[in-house]
């Protein structure tokens, strides 16, 4: 089997640069979905149910993209066609989603339109996002994968930083941050428009800059024989034969992603209550809190970018993985005690450390422990360890909110406890290179 050569920093950067634009779209969705549906009239106890759709589409779409792209060979490559088509659909939906309340529809019809738009948006984002992880697995050798995924983590958080700040920036320059009841403010609508334009430009950059290996060369670099190329192994067989590390890292992922599902769902309501003293979604204070959510998530992105540069300095991946989750857990729990919006910067900087580790380390560990034969399929299936915990968390979120007294900040404390449990589960991870 031939060894993949070292790539220049520029090439590693080019492979992941389109992820910057994809993450802007994902950040706009993450920071504004609860705000959008609350503005349309959703009850806080039902907000988590809207969040079932994004991971549900992910768990359906990403394994399919992985399996199909493993077998796809075109003049444009095997992964790039999927990320390009997914991004194009995402751009179209980003123009529609924030206008859910602007078409003169009834509350129920506006919510239905918003749900369908959200479903399409997350389907397309998932279709565009997964190929970037696969490209690293395809093109980068084991020695450089840690650096490659750290670059991807950096670009991901840089994109998040931009996406999170857009509503705040538009409000600052004079775009209206309030609107008629049931209508999304222009500050949010314009944010989605600009995010869609940047997404398309970034994906076009990667599409033209990155050249994937032709089939014969790919087989040589990944040690795939002709017999293996003809193998028709299905998804269920792959799961049955998955290496132990697939499941142990997946256990850590379960608690980590459940925690962040509650951050995305409840931060807006939590800080509106604790820092602005309101739960009225039609109030100016609630919309100001909505903008501040973007600022806090941007602070989290800064923390993630800084910590992403520290992670490669640790030789022990399990140690830095566990440490990152503990720090993030402390950040979540601290939100219960900070009622000043600026003090929350500390909380979200710490949360950013956990996010950086979640973006980089699981994929580094996994791709170093599987062969290239089913790289896309396994990465697609591994996305289930991201989506399934979000689906479970969203399904029981309303019930848990009742159990913690209806105070949304308590859901953030629960998220912190989940990260601490996830840190403990890193003890079960054992790395062995095998399929």
Domain map (residue ranges) of the chain: 9-214+235-428
- Angle at CA 261, nearest 5°, toward 358 and 194? 85
Task: Tell me the C-alpha distance between 154 and 353, whole Å.
Answer: 12
- 66 neighbors 131 (Cβ within 8 angstroms): no
Cβ-contact 235, 66 below 8 angstroms: no
Beta bridge partners of 77: 74
Cβ atoms of residues 381 and 235 within 8 Å: yes
What is the Cα–Cα distance from 373 to 368, expressed in whole angstroms?
A: 13
pLDDT of the residue at 374: 65
Buried b (16+ CB within 10 A) or exposed e, 220-237: ebbebeeeeeeeeeebee
pLDDT for residue 110: 80
pLDDT of residue 234: 63
Which residues make Cβ contacts (< 8 Å) with residue 329, sequence separation at least 6?
Answer: 259, 354, 416, 417, 418, 419, 420, 423
**Nearest alpha carbon to residue 359 among 236, 253, 431, 232:** 253
CA distance 325 to 364: 17
Other Cβ atoms closer than 10 A to 28: 29
Give whole-number Cα distances, 171 to 192, 267, 342, 369, in Å.
Answer: 14, 20, 18, 47
- Mean pLDDT per 10-residue interval, the chain, length 435 residues: 81 89 87 80 75 75 76 81 88 86 75 81 80 82 81 83 88 86 86 93 89 78 59 66 82 94 91 89 82 88 87 86 96 95 96 90 78 66 82 90 92 96 92 52
For the structural domain made of 9-214+235-428, what CATH number should be given?
A: 1.20.1250.20
pLDDT of residue 373: 62
Both tokens assigned to 272: 């509106």
β-sheet bridge partners, residue 74: 77
Q: What is the 8-class DSSP label of residue 214?
A: P
What gap in Å lies between CA 16 and CA 153, rounded to an integer?
9
Helix residue spans in 210-243 (DSSP H): 215-222, 226-230, 235-240
CA distances to 232, 330, 348 from 413, in Å: 46, 9, 13
Radius of gyration of the chain (CA): 21
Residue 60 CB partners (closer than 8 Å, separation 6+): none
- Report whether 379 contacts 137 (CB < 8 A): yes
Cβ atoms within 10 Å of 319's Cβ, excluding its own: 11
CA dihedral 115, 116, 120, 125 (to 10 degrees): -10
Q: Are the C-beta atoms of residues 56 and 394 closer than 8 Å to each other?
A: no
What's the pLDDT at 240?
75
**What's the CA gap between 393 and 379, in Å, rounded?**
22
Judged on CB neighbours under 10 Å (0-12, 13-18, 19+), 412 is buried
Per-residue model confidence (pLDDT) at position 274: 92
Residue 107 token pair: 């509350």
Residues 4 and 135: their CA atoms lie apart, in Å, by 13
């Amino acid at each position: 089997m031939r060894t993949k050569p070292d790539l220049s920093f520029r090439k590693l950067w080019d492979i992941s640069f389109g992820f910057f634009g994809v993450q802007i779209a994902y950040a706009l969705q993450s920071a504004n979905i609860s705000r959008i549906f609350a503005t349309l009239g959703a009850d806080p106890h039902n907000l988590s149910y809207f969040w079932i759709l994004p991971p549900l589409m992910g768990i359906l779409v990403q394994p399919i993209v992985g399996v199909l792209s493993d077998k796809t060979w075109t003049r444009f490559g095997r992964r790039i066609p999927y990320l390009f088509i997914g991004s194009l659909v995402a751009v179209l939906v980003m123009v529609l989603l924030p206008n859910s309340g602007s078409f003169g529809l009834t509350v129920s019809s506006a919510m239905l339109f918003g749900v369908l738009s959200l479903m399409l948006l997350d389907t397309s984002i998932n279709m565009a996002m997964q190929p970037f992880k696969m490209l690293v697995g395809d093109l980068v050798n084991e020695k450089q994968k840690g650096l490659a995924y750290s670059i991807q983590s950096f670009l991901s958080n840089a994109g998040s930083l931009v996406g999170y700040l857009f509503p705040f920036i538009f409000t600052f320059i004079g775009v209206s941050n309030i609107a008629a009841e049931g209508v999304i403010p222009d500050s949010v609508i314009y944010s989605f428009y600009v995010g869609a334009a940047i997404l398309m430009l970034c994906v076009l950059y990667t599409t033209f800059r990155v050249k994937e290996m032709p089939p014969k060369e790919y087989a040589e670099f990944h040690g795939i024989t002709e017999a293996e190329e003809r193998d028709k192994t299905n998804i269920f067989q792959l799961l049955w034969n998955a290496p132990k590390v697939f499941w142990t890292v997946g256990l850590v992922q379960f608690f980590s992603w459940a925690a962040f599902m509650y951050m995305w769902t409840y931060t807006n309501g939590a800080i509106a209550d604790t820092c602005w003293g309101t739960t009225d979604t039609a109030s100016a204070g609630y919309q100001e809190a909505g903008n501040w959510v973007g600022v806090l998530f941007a602070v989290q992105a800064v923390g993630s970018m800084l910590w992403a540069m520290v992670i490669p300095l640790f030789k022990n991946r399990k140690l830095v993985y566990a440490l990152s989750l503990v720090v993030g857990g402390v950040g979540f729990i601290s939100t219960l005690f900070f009622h000043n919006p600026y003090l929350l910067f500390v909380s979200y900087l710490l949360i950013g450390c956990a996010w950086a580790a979640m973006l980089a380390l699981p994929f580094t560990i996994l791709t170093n422990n599987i062969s290239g034969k089913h790289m896309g399929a396994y990465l697609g299936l591994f996305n289930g360890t991201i989506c399934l915990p979000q689906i479970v968390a969203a399904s029981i979120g309303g019930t848990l909110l009742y159990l913690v007294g209806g105070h949304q900040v308590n859901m953030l404390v629960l998220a912190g406890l989940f990260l601490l449990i996830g840190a403990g589960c890193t003890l079960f991870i054992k790395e062995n290179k095998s399929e």
